[in-house]
Amino acid sequence: MASTKNQVYALEGKVALITGAGRGIGRGIAVELGQRGASVVVNYSRADKAAAEVVAEIEKAGSRAIAIKADVSKASEVARLFKEALEHFGRLDIVVSNSGTEVFKPEDQVTEEDYDRIFGLNTRAQFFVAQNAYKSLQNGGRIILTSSVAATMSGIGNHALYAGSKAAVEGFTRSFAVDAGHKQITVNAIAPGGVKTDMYDE
């Protein structure tokens, strides 16, 4: 993402939590929000070193950051993530649910384990992140979920599992947007196309 070092710190005083922020798109979002003045909760699931590097980059830009390790495919871990974030910063204003994974297989080769893994992180995790965000955000907060162009595109082979997991996220988004309206919380989904991150290479 383009640097915003010379821009006004429009998010100063705000606290943002980003899941899957140790690498790829999530890392870029976390760093950008930090450069815009927000304090940032960097959630990650595996790579301690990578998460520490994201925190260091945000702090170098002049903002505060903390890394919290949690497997967001588990509802109990999502609840712990939000609890620790609130204990550390005292508030949350922005939540970006970015964690996700992929599988490319012919449909007749997809296993139950594949299904559980893809829907566990792409769908289940995003629901419980949105749920905890709804309960935790300040009035006027922002929830951003991550869908994909695959949710609505046709003509992509070997993609039913991934596309279905992301289509559900768009349904979550529309419903949460209605339910969160009384708190002036906006709920939106972004739908990236193919982005060549390290997950893409895997």
Domain architecture of the chain: domains with CATH:
15-195 (3.40.50.720)
- Where is average pLDDT lowest: 19-33, 88-102, 116-130, 141-155? 141-155
Query: Looking at 73, 99, 162, 165, which residue is catalytic?
Result: 162
Query: Looking at 73, 166, 183, 200, which residue is catalytic?
Result: 166
Residue 135 has pLDDT above 50, yes or no: yes
- Check residue 7 and give its pLDDT: 59
* Residue 136 a catalytic site member: no
Q: What is the DSSP string of the chain?
A: ----TTS--TTTT-EEEETTTTSHHHHHHHHHHHHTT-EEEEEESS-HHHHHHHHHHHHHTT--EEEEE--TTSHHHHHHHHHHHHHHHS---EEEE---------GGG--HHHHHHHHIIIIIHHHHHHHHHHHHSPTT-EEEEE--GGGT--S-TT-HHHHHHHHHHHHHHHHHHHHTGGGT-EEEEE------SHHHH-
- Check residue 6 and give its pLDDT: 41
* Percent share of the chain, pLDDT over 90: 81
Is 19 in contact with 29 (CB distance < 8 Å)?
no
- Check residue 196 and give its pLDDT: 55
CA angle 12, 193, 140 (to 5 degrees): 30
pLDDT mean over 146-152: 83
* Residue 60 a catalytic site member: no
Residue 162 has pLDDT above 60, yes or no: yes
* Residue 147 a catalytic site member: yes
Write down the mean pLDDT value for the chain. 92
Predicted TM-score (pTM) of the model is: 0.91
- Check residue 193 and give its pLDDT: 73
pLDDT in tens, 76-113: 999 999 999 999 999 999 999 999 998 888 999 999 99
Confidence category of residue 68, pLDDT binned at 50, 70, 90: very high
- Check residue 153 and give its pLDDT: 79
Closest CA to 106 of 159, 156, 164, 162: 159
Residue with more model confidence, 201 or 119: 119
Query: Looking at 73, 148, 175, 183, which residue is catalytic?
Result: 148
* Residue 134 a catalytic site member: no
Query: Looking at 147, 154, 165, 175, which residue is catalytic?
Result: 147
pLDDT mean over 122-151: 95
